[in-house]
Homo-oligomer: A and B are copies of this chain.
Amino acid sequence: MTSTSSPFRTAEQKLEDRAAKRNAVLRAAVQMFNARGFHATSLDDVAASLGISKPTIYHYLGNKDQILLECLKLGLQQLLEAVAQARTLPGSGFDRLVRFLECYAEVMMDDFGRCVIRTPQESLTPQSLPEYRDIKRKIDAAMRELIEEGIADGSIAALDSRLLSFTLAGALNWTARWHNPDGEQDVGEIASTMVDILANGFTPANRPPPG
C-alpha cells in the first residue's frame, strides 16, 4: 500500500500478501462466528462478506474446522502472552496475578478472545480438539501456578486455588458474552474495575486493600 513501492513485488512481499489474505479470512470468519454462532455461519457467508467465493477460502485454509481452530489459537495465543508477561513481572504473587487478570480480561474483549468463549469447544472436530485442549490446559495450569505462588508468599489468601481460578476466569470470560465491541466504554477501564472487585476476594484478611 506504500505509494512509492514498485508494482513488481518481491517473493517476500508475495508471502506477506498471502498471509494478509489468510488473516483477512480469519478475521471475517471470527466476527461472523461471534455474531451468529459457528454453525449458523456458512463459508459462503464469510466469502460473500469479503467479496470472494467459497473456493477462494479453501485456497487459503484447509476447511471450516481448521478455520475455527486457527481463530481459537489466535485467541489462546494472546492469553499465553499474558501469562509470559506476568511471569517476568517483579513484585508479589498478588501483583503478578492482578496484572495477568487485567490482560486476560482485555483479550476476552478482542475478536479472537471472544471466540474462545462464545464458540463451544464441541464445534471442533475430534481431530482438532486435543490440540485446542492442550493449550487451554496450559493456560489454566499457569493461572493456578500464579495463584499458588501468591499464596506461598502470603500476598494471596489461602483459598482453594482450583475454585479461585475458576471464579476469576469465569467472571472475566463472561465479558466475551456481554461486552459490545462497538460500545464506547474503554476496555482497559472495564478490565481494571472488574479485577479490583475480584481482587478483594483473594486479598488476605490481615492485609486490607488500600482505601
By a beta-carbon cutoff of 8 Å, the part of chain A in contact with chain B is: 36-37, 39-40, 118-120, 122-123, 159-160, 163-164, 166-175, 177-178, 190, 193-194, 197-203, 205, 208-209, 211
Contact = CB atoms under 8 A, between A and B. Distances in A.
A178 B166 contact: yes
A170 B175 contact: yes
A197 B122 contact: no
Nearest to A140: B178
A197 B157 CA distance: 10
A128 to B, nearest CB: 14
Contact of A197 (B164, B175, B190): B164
A193 B198 CA distance: 14
Does more than half of chain A's interface fall in helix, strand or loop, or is it mixed?
A: helix
Copy total for this chain: 2
A77 to B, nearest CB: 21
Contacts of A201: 197-201
Given A163-B190, A166-B175, A170-B171, 13 more contacts: A36-B122, A37-B123, A118-B120, A160-B193, A163-B194, A166-B171, A166-B174, A166-B194, A167-B171, A167-B174, A199-B201, A200-B202, A205-B211
A144 B211 CA distance: 25
A170 B101 CA distance: 14
A130 to B, nearest CB: 17
Nearest to A123: B37
A173 B170 contact: yes
Contacts of A160: 193
Nearest to A202: B197
A197 B120 contact: no
B171 A40 contact: no
A118 B36 CA distance: 15
Given A174-B170, A201-B198, A163 B193 contact: yes
A120 B35 CA distance: 11
Contacts of A169: 174
Nearest to A166: B178
